[in-house]
Amino acid sequence: MPKLATRILNAQSTLWAFFFYASDDAISQLTQNNKMSNPQAVRIHSLALVRPKDGGSFASDDILRATLVIIDLDHLTAQTADEMISALFHKNEIARLHTFEHAKRRQSFAHGRLAGKLAVRAHCDDLEPQQIQIENGVFDQPILTSTHPEIHQLGVSISHSDHYAAALVFHRAHPMGIDVDLPSPADIGPVLAGLSRRERNVLEELKLDDRDAAALMWVARESLAKTLTTGLMTPLSVYTPSSITLQDGVFVVFYENFSQYRSLVWHGVKGWLGITLPGETVFLHSPDFNWS
């Protein structure tokens, strides 16, 4: 199998200098043919995780790692997306893609699956993406399926907005969730209207304007809901934060009803990124970690 040079991922950056193998010549030709309009359209981050306690019955080396993929959709050309779909999608995923009548729904499905497949491939370089499916559970949550036994230990969380598609692959023994979004002006009022006076006071202390406050609350709650596999199908008060602090440029959110989890939230150029993980797990990120 040909090696995909990380020029497509901006090989000059130590943050995501990551090599993996492609299952199709189409991907290996992307950089040579200059089909990607910006070499930073795809970013892959291997996340180092540390816990003060053991990993249950699993070895820490197995569960204390995760892979984050961010696709900047503003720099992803249609031709590049089509070639990546051909190289990465399972035949059933391609068939399902063609069942969507509306272009926007096709695009959101394709972009989310692309991020998920890239994350799986980077996380486990011995797996063939075309032999893996990302299906949906009863709550529409993404589920990885394959005949390969290793895949059944992995979970995937997927998110997309107007500007980004994102995916996070992790071990199911160490649940995580992701969300990326930027509320529209019409969404800001409803999000803030559902906040308690105490939540508003916390956000005011952080000196966030209304849009940033709404974005922070939205991606934190959404990433938690995905970790819990509930989606935002319960009253928002269930996800009430117990604290929100700013630490080294990262917003850290703890919850009244889910003290076993915390969310890390980053502001980006065109959106906000939220990752929820077990509360005692430390995410070792460099100060210059730049997801967007």
- Measure CA 37 to chain center: 22
Domain boundaries, the chain: 3-174, 180-283
What pLDDT was estimated at residue 2?
Answer: 32
Return the top range by mean pLDDT from 33-47, 161-175, 277-291. Answer: 161-175
Residue 33 has pLDDT above 70, yes or no: no
What pLDDT was estimated at residue 115?
Answer: 97
What pLDDT was estimated at residue 266?
Answer: 96
What pLDDT was estimated at residue 286?
Answer: 66
Strand partners, 179: 274
Q: How far is CA 128 from CA 28, 132, 268, 287, in A?
A: 15, 7, 32, 34
Which range (8-17, 96-105, 219-228) has the least confidence? Answer: 8-17
Spell out the CATH class of 3-174: alpha beta
If one compares 47 and 27, the residue with the highest pLDDT of the two is 47
Looking at residues 130-153, what average pLDDT do you find?
Answer: 92
Whether residue 110 contacts residue 86, with contact meaning beta carbons closer than 8 Å, is answered with no
Residue 39 has pLDDT above 80, yes or no: no
Tens digits of per-residue pLDDT, 124-138? Answer: 988 899 999 999 998
What pLDDT was estimated at residue 60?
Answer: 80
If one compares 26 and 96, the residue with the highest pLDDT of the two is 96
Residue 41 binned pLDDT confidence (cut-offs 50, 70, 90): confident
Looking at residues 161-183, what average pLDDT do you find?
Answer: 97
CA–CA gap between residue 292 and residue 216 (Å, rounded): 16
Query: Does 180-283 match 3-174 at the fold level?
Result: yes
Spell out the CATH class of 180-283: alpha beta
What pLDDT was estimated at residue 40?
Answer: 66
**φ/ψ (deg, to 5) at 201:** -65, -40
CA–CA gap between residue 80 and residue 97 (Å, rounded): 16
Strand partners, 282: 50
The H or E element spanning position 116 is helix 103-123
What pLDDT was estimated at residue 21?
Answer: 30
What pLDDT was estimated at residue 269?
Answer: 83
Looking at residues 233-242, what average pLDDT do you find?
Answer: 86
Neighbours of 97 (CB within 10 A): 16
